Amino acid sequence: MRPAGMSAGRFISFEGIDGSGKSTQSRLLAERLRAEGETVVLTREPGGSPGAEEIRALLVSGDPGRWSAETEILLFTAARRDHLERTIRPALDRGEIVITDRFADSTRVYQGVARADLRETVDALHDLMIGIEPDLTLILDADPERTMARGKGHARGEGRFEAMGLAFQQALRAGFRALAADELRCVLIDTNAGKEAAAEAIWQAVRERFG
């Protein structure tokens, strides 16, 4: 597997359950790095390129049973491939910092663990079609009882995965925690102490990893 670090740029991903605060924290980190003079591309999945944003619409809205877990793996991977070709790889080659709100770990946990026992399929397709990992992955740990009460996805008409229920969100949380324990590139961030404390823990993790 080719680490993103072989390019000139740096590749950082945010991961976590629905409503764990990834979009806020990825924006705060981008702002802080820009204030230090860095060039940052802030992006997201599913999406992050025009083609991948079109695929996103198919995935996040509609009936929870609309796609099987297998079909979802193919759609998320297709979107990721376009995102990689059009947005991530060019920015890394320019020596920039790429921050993405979700990447391959979301497929590993949502489709590989929580929806179905398909981790091997996810990994095989990842090796074939994507083949890169972030230099640093910040996994935001949050209590599903708290995040579901916010119902943010529903409010945007993008609640397909939230509609899978509390037990699903709990399985996701366990999956992300297991990943954080297994992978050296991952750092688990506690979000229960509030937004500012989480932002500070993230900044420390970034400084430790990149100096």
Token pair listed for 209: 């990893």
Q: Which one of residues 9, 19, 112, 144 is an interface residue with ligand TYD (CB under 6 A)?
A: 19
Round to whole Å and give the CA distance between 16 and 129.
23
Identity of the amino acid at 157: G
Comparison of 154 and 210: residue with beta carbon closer to ligand TYD: 154
Region class of 21: left (phi > 0), else alpha (psi between -120 and 50), else beta: left
Polymer length of the chain: 211
Q: Is 206 helix (H, G, I), strand (E, B) or coil?
A: helix
Look at residues 71, 1, 82 and name the one whose alpha carbon lies nearest to residue 45.
82
Q: Which one of residues 29, 33, 43, 76 is an interface residue with ligand TYD (CB under 6 A)?
A: 76
Comparison of 45 and 82: residue with beta carbon closer to ligand TYD: 45
CB of 102 to ligand TYD, least distance (A): 4
Choose the binding region for ligand TYD from 100-108, 181-189, 191-199, 200-208 (rule: CB under 6 A). Answer: 100-108
Residues 24-63 that bind ligand TYD (CB under 6 A): 45-46, 59-60
Task: By CB under 6 A, name the binding residues for ligand TYD.
Answer: 18-19, 23, 45-46, 59-60, 76, 101-102, 106-107, 110-111, 153, 161
